[in-house]
Structure 1
Amino acid sequence: MARQREQYGRFYEGDFGLSALAGKLSTTSGAPDEARSLRLASEVAAVCEGEGAVELGVDVRCLLDSALPDGVIRAVWLAATQGRFDPAECESGVRGWLRRLAEGRPERRSEPAAGHWLARPSMPEEELREAVVAEIRASAGTLERALVENDRAVLPPGAVAGSLEAVAREGDGDLALRLFLRVLKVYGVPVGKEQYDRLMALDAALGWPGPVVYDGLNVLWPPIDTARRDASGDFGFSALTSWFEGGWQESTARERVRQAAAADDSAQTPGSAAAVLLADARRLLDSPLPAETITVLWLSASGRGYNIDHLGIDGRDWLRVIEDVCEKHLRDVAPHYRHAQPPVRTDLRDAVLRAVREAAPLLTDAGIGPRWDVIPGESAIGAVGEVVTVVDPDLGFRLLLRLLNVVSPPLTEEQYCHYQALGRRFGYGEHHVTEGLEHLVRHG
C-alpha cells in the first residue's frame, strides 16, 4: 500500500512503527515470545495518544501487501532484534504474526482539517527506495563484519543486507530505512560522517524527528574543528546571547551557559558547540576591546536579557565565566581535545564593514531594552564595528545579524539577500540567516 507521509516530528519524539517495536524487542528482558511482542506492540501503538497505532498499522500492511517471502521478513526481524525475536516461531508463522499486529490498527491517518498540518514530505517513493538501497550497500561490508564478530548473530553472510534491500525495493522505503538504522544500532556498526549526513538528509526529507537517525548510532565523528561550519543555525558567542533573551529564569546564568555549550547541532562532532563558543570568548578576551565595549555587545545582542552591568559583572569577567564553562564541558565530552583558534577571515573584513555601515540607519536610532534602561542603538552598532575591525569579521557579522534580530527593523528583499550571500561566503548553515531575519523582510 502507498504510505501517506506526514511530518512525523509533530507526532513522535523518536522512532515509531515496526522499527520502534524492533527496538523494544531487542532490549526487553528475557526471551520475548509472541504474547510479549503483542504487548510491546500495544505500547508502540499508544504513543502520542494513540497516533502510534497509525504508523504501526501502515508498516505492517506494507509487509503484508508485498510479495516478500516470509524468509526475507524473518531475516530482517532477526537482525533488527539482534536475534532475540523470531516471528517464524510464532504459532501462526511470520505473516500470521503480522496479521495479529495489524488487528485494530488504522490503515492510514484520517484527513486533517484544512491548514492543520505542515506540508507533507514529498520525496518520490522510487527515489527513496534507490537512496535506501545505496545506503544499505554502503554499509554492507562493515555490517557483515559486525555480524560475524557478534555472538548473537544467527544469519548467514549476505542475508541481512540482501533482505533489507528487498524490503526497500518491494515493501516500503521508509520502513526499510528505519529497520536498516535499527540493525546498524543493535550491532554497533560504525557509520562515517559523510554517510551520517546523508542519513540525516533523508531524515529531513521524510519529516522524521532527528533522534530516529542519531539516537544510538555509532557515528565515526571527525575531530573537533573550530573552522568547520556544520551547524545549521547560529553558533558561538552570538548564539549564546539568544539563550539569554527573554525569560530564562529557570536556571542560573552559569547553568544557562552550560546548556548552550552542550547544545551541539546534530551535524556536529560532540563538543563542537563548546569549542566554537570558547574560540569566540578567547578572541574577545585577547583583543584590545575595553570591558565597557564588551558589556555593550552582550547587553545589546541579548536584548538586555542578562544585565551584567546591574550585577556589577565586568564584561571581561563574564567572558572568563563563559571560557571556564566551555573548558569544563570539553574536558567531560572531549578530553583529548586541544583548543586551536581558527584563522581570522580578514578577506571578508571590508565586506562586513560595508554591511555594518549599510545597517547603521536601521539601528542607530533604536533603543534596546526597556525604555527606562535603554542601550542606544548607536552604541551597539559602534561596538559591532569595533569587533569587525580589531577582533574578527566573522564574529562581527554574526553579532550584526543578532542585533537586527533583536531590534527587528523591516528589511528589503535586497538587504536580506545581501546578508544571505555574505553568510554563504562565511560558510554558515542553511538556517543561520533565515531563522534570524526572514520574518523581517517586507515584500513588494
Structure 2
Amino acid sequence: MARQREQYGSFYEDDFGLSALARKLSATARAPDAAQSLRLASEVAAVCEGEGALELSVDVHCLLDSALPDGVIRTAWLAATHGQFDPAEYESGVRGWLRRLAESWPEHNREPDPGHWLVRPVIAEEGLREAVAAEIRASADPLARAVAENDRVGLPPDAVAESLEAVAREGDGDLGLRLLLRVLKVYDVPVGKEQYDRLMALDTALGWPGPLVYDGLNVLWPPIDTARRDASDDFGLSGLTAWFEGVWQEDTARERVRQAAAADDSAQTPGSAAALLLADARRLIDSSLRAETITALWLSASGRGYNIDHLGLDARDWLRLIEDVCEERLRGVAPHYHHAEVPVRTDLRDAALRALREATPLLREAAIGPHWDAIPGASALGAVEEVVTDVDPDLGFRLLLRLLTLAAPYLTQEQYSHYQALGRRFGFGEHHVMEALEQLVRPA
C-alpha cells in the first residue's frame, strides 16, 4: 500500500501509526498481552475522528508486504516498545499479529477535502530511506551501548540498529524514522545538536507535528549563546512586541512576558528565548536613549498593545520587569547561565541605516496603532534610528521589520529581497523576514 503523504501536523498533535502504538505499549505498567495490544491499537486508530486508522493500516502493510524476516521486525518492534510487547509470542507469530491489525483496520484512502488547501509533502522515497539509514548509523554506537546497559529482553545490542535500518530500507522510510525515534527515546540515547537539526529537517520535509521528534528526545544542547540565531522567527524584544499586539487581556502583562520568555524555538537550547530577550532589555536599559524614545519604540512596535505611557509606567521600569521575568526563567531551566554581552554588529550599522532610510517614504506618514491613539510613523522611525545608531543595529533592524508589519505598506519585490538579504547577513532564521513581510509584496 503506497503511503499517501499529508501535512500530518494538520491531523495529529504527536506520533501516529505503529510508532504511536509502540509508545502506548512501552508506557504500560505491565507487559500487555495480545488482546491489550489490540485495544491500544484501537485508540491509535481512533485519533483525529478515525484518521489514525489510515496511518496505522499503511504502517502495518509496509511491514506485511515487505520481504523483511520476522526476526528483523521482531527486533525493531521489541526495541521500540522497550521489551514490553513481543509479537512473536502471539499465537500466529509476528506476521500473524500484523495481519490481525490489518483485518481490524483495512486499507483505505483518505477522502480529499475540498477545503483542504495545505500542500502535501513531496519527498523522494529513496532519498528518504538513505537519509533515515544515515541517522540510524549515526546513532548505532550509542544505541548499542544503551541496549546493552538497559535492555529488558536480551536483544543483541548491534542487531537493533541493523533491524531499524532494514525496516527503513525494505519496509518504509517514514516508519523506519518514527521507530528510530521511539527507540532513541525509550533507551534515552543522547542525540547531538547537529543530528537533532537533521531529524527536525526530516520532520519538516515529511510534514510531521514537531513534538513527534523533540518530545522526550535526549538532546545534547549546546550552552545558551545569544550570538546564535537558531530560531526561525523573530526573537528578543522585537519578538516580545508581537505577543502584546492586539487583544491579550486574558493575561497580566507579567504573565504575557513569562509566556514569551518560555517560548523557545524547537531548534534552540532551552532558555535561549529568555536570554535573547534579556540581552535586548539590558542593552536598552544601559543605553543613552531617553525614556521617551524607549516608550515610543515599545508603543509603536507593539501597535500600542500595552500602553505603558497611559499607565504611567517608566520605560526602563518596564524593561526591568522584563529583565526580572527572564532571569526567573533562566534560573529554572539554565541555572548555570551567566549573561555575557555579545559585541554589537557595528559592521552592519550602515546597512541597517540604509534599510531604514529606504523604508522612510513608506512609514513617515503612517499612523501605527489604533487610529484614535496612533504613534506617528516619523516618531517611530526616529526612535528606531537611535537604536540603530546608538544601541544595536540588529535590534534596530528587527524593530524596523515590526513597524513595516504593523503599517503594512506595499513593498516591491526588490525591497523585499533587500530586507531578506540583510536579514541573512544578521543571521536571522529562514522565516523571520518572510513571515514579517512576504504578504506585503505587491503582485507583479
TM-score between the two structures when normalised by the length of structure 2: 0.99
Return closer, same or farther for 1:153/1:387 CA change in 2, 3 Å cut-off.
farther
2: CA distance, partners of 1:91 / 1:10: 38
The residue identity in structure 1 corresponding to 2:285 is L
Indicate if the aligned counterparts of 1:4 and 1:108 stay in contact, CA closer than 8 A. no
Deviations 1:280-319 (A, max 9, x none): 0000001000111111100000011111111111111100
SS at 2:48's partner residue? Answer: coil
2: CA distance, partners of 1:349 / 1:109: 55
- Measured after TM superposition, the shift of residue 274 of structure 1 is 0.3
Matched with 1:309 is: 309
1:66 aligns with 2:66: yes
SS at 2:154's partner residue? Answer: coil
2: CA distance, partners of 1:60 / 1:117: 28
Matched with 2:134 is: 134
- Measured after TM superposition, the shift of residue 390 of structure 1 is 0.3
1: CA distance, partners of 2:407 / 2:117: 31
The residue identity in structure 1 corresponding to 2:227 is A
Indicate if the aligned counterparts of 1:55 and 1:108 stay in contact, CA closer than 8 A. no
Q: Which runs of 5+ in 1 are unaligned?
A: none
2: CA distance, partners of 1:87 / 1:106: 19
Matched with 2:167 is: 167
SS at 2:305's partner residue? Answer: coil
2: CA distance, partners of 1:132 / 1:326: 38
Matched with 2:217 is: 217
Matched with 1:258 is: 258
Identity %: 80
2: CA distance, partners of 1:270 / 1:348: 28
2: CA distance, partners of 1:141 / 1:296: 56
2: CA distance, partners of 1:58 / 1:417: 42
SS at 2:144's partner residue? Answer: helix
Residue range with higher mean Cα deviation, 199-208 or 88-97: 88-97
- Measured after TM superposition, the shift of residue 109 of structure 1 is 3.0
- Measured after TM superposition, the shift of residue 99 of structure 1 is 1.0
Matched with 1:46 is: 46
SS at 1:313's partner residue? Answer: coil
Query: RMSD across aligned C-alpha pairs, in angstroms?
Result: 1.0
Matched with 1:80 is: 80
SS at 2:191's partner residue? Answer: strand
- Measured after TM superposition, the shift of residue 115 of structure 1 is 5.7
The residue identity in structure 1 corresponding to 2:80 is A
Matched with 1:275 is: 275
- Measured after TM superposition, the shift of residue 374 of structure 1 is 1.5
Indicate if the aligned counterparts of 1:168 and 1:176 stay in contact, CA closer than 8 A. yes
The residue identity in structure 2 corresponding to 1:247 is V
The residue identity in structure 2 corresponding to 1:385 is E
Indicate if the aligned counterparts of 1:147 and 1:153 stay in contact, CA closer than 8 A. no
1: CA distance, partners of 2:242 / 2:103: 49
2: CA distance, partners of 1:374 / 1:127: 53
2: CA distance, partners of 1:144 / 1:30: 25
2: CA distance, partners of 1:439 / 1:366: 18
- Measured after TM superposition, the shift of residue 371 of structure 1 is 2.1
Indicate if the aligned counterparts of 2:54 and 2:110 stay in contact, CA closer than 8 A. no
Matched with 1:4 is: 4
Matched with 2:30 is: 30
2: CA distance, partners of 1:109 / 1:242: 41
The residue identity in structure 2 corresponding to 1:146 is A
Deviations 1:186-236 (A, max 9, x none): 000000000000000000000000011000000000000000000001000
2: CA distance, partners of 1:151 / 1:17: 24
The residue identity in structure 2 corresponding to 1:14 is D
- Measured after TM superposition, the shift of residue 153 of structure 1 is 4.8
Matched with 1:143 is: 143
Matched with 2:364 is: 364
- Measured after TM superposition, the shift of residue 335 of structure 1 is 0.3
2: CA distance, partners of 1:432 / 1:311: 31
Matched with 1:249 is: 249
Indicate if the aligned counterparts of 1:53 and 1:105 stay in contact, CA closer than 8 A. yes
- Measured after TM superposition, the shift of residue 443 of structure 1 is 2.1
Indicate if the aligned counterparts of 2:82 and 2:151 stay in contact, CA closer than 8 A. no
Indicate if the aligned counterparts of 1:16 and 1:44 stay in contact, CA closer than 8 A. yes
Matched with 2:119 is: 119
Matched with 1:287 is: 287
Instruction: Please give the residue correspondences for 1:383-394 in structure 2 after superposition, counting only pairs within 5 Å.
Output: 383-394=383-394
2: CA distance, partners of 1:315 / 1:107: 62
Indicate if the aligned counterparts of 1:185 and 1:216 stay in contact, CA closer than 8 A. yes
Deviations 1:10-64 (A, max 9, x none): 0000000000000000001211110110000001111111111110011001111
Indicate if the aligned counterparts of 1:291 and 1:316 stay in contact, CA closer than 8 A. yes
Deviations 1:239-270 (A, max 9, x none): 00000001111111000000000000000000
1:397 aligns with 2:397: yes
Matched with 2:326 is: 326
Deviations 1:111-143 (A, max 9, x none): 414562411111100000000000000000000
Indicate if the aligned counterparts of 2:83 and 2:151 stay in contact, CA closer than 8 A. no
Matched with 2:186 is: 186
The residue identity in structure 2 corresponding to 1:141 is D
1:425 aligns with 2:425: yes
Q: Which runs of 5+ in 2 are unaligned?
A: none
Deviations 1:315-349 (A, max 9, x none): 11100000000000000000011111211000000
Indicate if the aligned counterparts of 1:73 and 1:163 stay in contact, CA closer than 8 A. yes
Q: Where do 4+ consecutive residues of structure 1 move more than 6 Å?
A: none
**Count of residue correspondences:** 444
2: CA distance, partners of 1:326 / 1:110: 45
Indicate if the aligned counterparts of 2:145 and 2:157 stay in contact, CA closer than 8 A. no
SS at 2:219's partner residue? Answer: strand
2: CA distance, partners of 1:319 / 1:204: 36
The residue identity in structure 1 corresponding to 2:332 is D
The residue identity in structure 2 corresponding to 1:7 is Q
1:176 aligns with 2:183: no
2: CA distance, partners of 1:378 / 1:109: 57
The residue identity in structure 2 corresponding to 1:409 is P
Residue range with higher mean Cα deviation, 86-95 or 107-116: 107-116
